Structure formats: C-alpha cells, structure tokens
Copies of this chain bind each other. A is one copy, B any other.
Amino acid sequence: MTTSAKTSTSRQRTSWKQDPEAVKADILRVARAEFAAHGLSGARVQDIAEKTKTSKRMIFYYFKDKESLYREVLEQAYNDVREGEKALELENLDPVEALSKLVKFTFSHHRDNEDFIRLVMIENIHRGIHLTASETIRSGNTPAVDQLKEILERGREMKLFRPDIDPLRLHWKISALCFFNVSNEPTFTRVFGDEIVSQEGQRKLKEEIVRTILNSVLAVPVSGS
C-alpha cells in the first residue's frame, strides 16, 4: 500500500505512520465508499474509522469534521473522473468515430464508477451546496466538454455535422442518458424489471444512446435511434 522506504525505522507497526499523506489517502478511500453507500447523514464516522488503518480521532485531526471530509471526498471524486476523461485519445479519429467512442466511454465509465454517480446524486440531494467552495470543479472547463468542442469543430469543417450544435448541451444530453442509466437503475428495475439492466439490455442501450447522440449532430441523420 504505502511506499516501503523508511528503512531506518525499526518497527513494522509504525511503517505507515509519519506519513500523513498516506493516512489521509486511506481515510479518503474508505470515506468515499461509505458516503457513496449511505449518504452524508447516513454515513457514520465510526464506521469509516473502523475500516481504516487509523482511528476515529485521526479523521477529525486531518479533516476537521464530517462535512469537510465529505467535501474532500466529493472533490476528489470529481477530479478522478476528469483525469479518467483526459486519458481518452480522440484526436486521430474521424469525428463520427471520435464522438461514438466518447459516448461509449462515458457510458462505460459511469457504469464502472457507481460510487461517483452515487456521490453526485447525494450532492444533488444537498442541492450542491458542498460544491461551492471548490474552484477547480466549478471552472466548467471539463475535459469532456473540451473534447466535444474539438470533435464538433472538426465535424463541422468536414460538413459532417450540423453547424449549430452547442457542445455544452450535447454534453448535457450524453450525461443525462449515461448518468440516469446508473443512478436510477434500482427503482427502474423494481418497477419495470431487468430488461434494460441485463447484460444484453445494456449492450443494446449503449448502441442506442450512441445512435441518438450521433443523430443529434449529423447533417444527414440516419434512421434508427
């Protein structure tokens, strides 16, 4: 887990001590899971502490209080997602493929990061008040929107895409479909069964979302979405 250096330190037990960053990271990791699982008020500091390599006391030592810890968890979650988006390499693909890949990535990325989705849901329940402070999050300059803008420009120049597409609104639409797929799965499944949540259902849904988005931007839409 932690870097092994600290050669001179004799005792094993204290290997992770004296390394505040490691302790903080450990707490954040556990806290993210707990907050995602139970919400801000539902999560228990005690429970977080018990799943940590340190004590409840340390949580307050490093993060001041429960709410601040939650804030940092949220911020870190947002940043992690953005880092993930950056890794996509779309520059060498033609616009249609690039957009297609971006949508598929978003779909799968959301699917694979349920904790992030849940944290965002929870934060929306709190009306987003804990997002206020973080300047990096609020900038609006997300990799996803930047990439979309670039793809749309290239597509427009090649006369493939309509010229009046707003990158932010397109991002909104992609997000809505990919986010809802994860966020509302529990209730949707209870009410309508698992047709959509099944493996085959998800495969079809992903394709359908790609088609829907493509049709939104194509100068000459194709049938079927």
Give me the interface of A with B, judged by CB distance under 8 Å: 1, 21, 38-42, 118, 120-128, 131-132, 137-138, 140, 142, 145, 162, 168-169, 171-173, 175-177, 179-181, 183-193, 195-196, 204-205, 208, 212, 215-216, 218-225
Contact = CB atoms under 8 A, between A and B. Distances in A.
A186 B40 contact: no
A126 B38 CA distance: 7
Contacts of A225: 215-216
Contacts of A124: 121, 183-187
Contacts of A187: 120, 123-124, 128, 131
Contact of A177 (B132, B177, B192): B177
A221 to B, nearest CB: 5
A219 B185 CA distance: 29
A182 B171 CA distance: 16
A126 B181 CA distance: 16
B212 A173 contact: yes
B221 A195 contact: no
Given A124-B184, A223-B221, A138 B191 contact: yes
The count of identical subunits is 4
Nearest to A201: B169
B186 A172 contact: no
Contacts of A190: 128, 131-132, 137-138
19 contacts: A40-B42, A118-B125, A120-B184, A122-B125, A123-B186, A128-B190, A131-B190, A137-B191, A140-B192, A168-B196, A169-B196, A172-B192, A172-B205, A175-B188, A176-B181, A176-B184, A212-B215, A212-B216, A221-B222
A107 to B, nearest CB: 12
A196 B203 CA distance: 30
Contacts of A181: 176
9 closest A-B pairs (Cβ-Cβ)? Answer: A128-B186, A176-B180, A41-B42, A131-B190, A221-B221, A41-B41, A128-B190, A127-B186, A128-B187
